[in-house]
Amino acid sequence: MTRSPSRQDLARSLAQEAGQLARAMRAEQGTGFVSVKGRQDFVTKADQAVEAMLRDRILTAFPDDGFLGEETGQTAYGPFTWVVDPIDGTTNYLHGLPEWGVSIACLRKTEIVLGAIALPDLDRIAWCARGEGAFLDGQRMHLPQHAETDSRLAILGHSVRLELQDHLGTIGGLLRVGYDYRRQGAACFGLLAVAAGWADFYFEGHLNPWDAMAGLLLVQEAGGTVRVSDLSQFLKHGGAVLASRAPLQAETLALLRPQHSSPGSP
């Protein structure tokens, strides 16, 4: 008798399978592969196909679960809700840059209980479960619990929903105190980078829930800290996200607040 996969096993395997489907479709793209939804917002046939595959496979395995995807919204309801971004970092994906990924999270009511992020072009897979740790390519991730480092590196995102001057002010503030920064163009990559210790913090003034859910739990389970609005509100409206190494949280908040003082900001 074949054992049914657990939700964690399913999330991990589907993230990898979805990534391979997205890569295959990019290689074969033709006319009409890309549509523009709005400023800084694209959708491809691969986004739609990957999300449809994920929804079908998840709800076949767990028919009483809910499903919330970037492309189709919430199309099923249940005590567990899967929150999925089929391709996070679509611009990178289209241009052949490797910093894009598949992000899958599962929530029990408003608590994130598991997550998986695949970075297909980099052949990396990360996963986590609440209380059970976070793993990258099978190795457990442990963030250092001390602040000392020879250099500081931030990863920033920018949303067209927010003022450009605030974003530029953040960059200037970081450079003045000796931070370097990167803008990778995919929240799942930025959050995984913090969990893996590749960056000291990640900040974006507005993210949608499918961008962030898996990565937020990865950071927490690796020993980092996250700041978002109340998760029930974040699920409905999105909001600002800050993820950092725990010893640097106060420092990063002090750096960000002068430019990001609106409600819901860290």
pLDDT tens by residue, 110-158: 999 999 999 999 999 999 999 999 999 999 999 987 766 678 899 999 8
| 171 and 51 part of one domain | no
Q: What range does the domain containing 123 cover?
A: 7-140
| Structure confidence by residue, pLDDT tens digits, 146-193 | 766 678 899 999 877 777 888 888 888 888 888 899 999 999 999 999
For residue 264, is it within any domain?
Answer: no
CA 67, CA 43: separation in Å to the nearest integer? 19
| 24 and 62 part of one domain | yes
The C-alpha angle 106, 110, 116, rounded to 5 degrees, equals: 25
Report the candidate in 155, 131, 257 with the shortest Cα–Cα distance to residue 207.
155
| 227 and 163 part of one domain | yes
Q: What sign does the CA torsion over 203, 208, 212, 213 have?
A: positive
| 122 and 192 part of one domain | no
CA 184, CA 93: separation in Å to the nearest integer? 12
Report the candidate in 181, 186, 182, 262 with the shortest Cα–Cα distance to residue 229.
262
| 36 and 96 part of one domain | yes
Say what the pTM is: 0.91
For residue 2, is it within any domain?
Answer: no
The answer to whether 55 touches 68, Cβ cutoff 8 Å, is no
CA 83, CA 91: separation in Å to the nearest integer? 21
Strand partners, 169: none
For residue 104, is it within any domain?
Answer: yes
The Cα-based distances of 144 to 89, 184, 252 in angstroms read 28, 23, 16
Strand partners, 182: 155
For residue 262, is it within any domain?
Answer: no
| 177 and 111 part of one domain | no
- Looking at every residue in the chain, the average pLDDT score rounds to 90
Count of domains forming the chain: 2
| Structure confidence by residue, pLDDT tens digits, 41-89 | 678 899 999 999 999 999 999 999 999 999 999 988 999 999 999 999 9
The Cα-based distances of 241 to 138, 207, 230, 265 in angstroms read 27, 7, 11, 8
| 92 and 166 part of one domain | no
Domain end position, chosen among 140, 161, 191: 140
Phi, psi (deg, nearest 5) at residue 52: -60, -40
Task: Please report the pLDDT score of residue 41 as a whole number.
Answer: 66
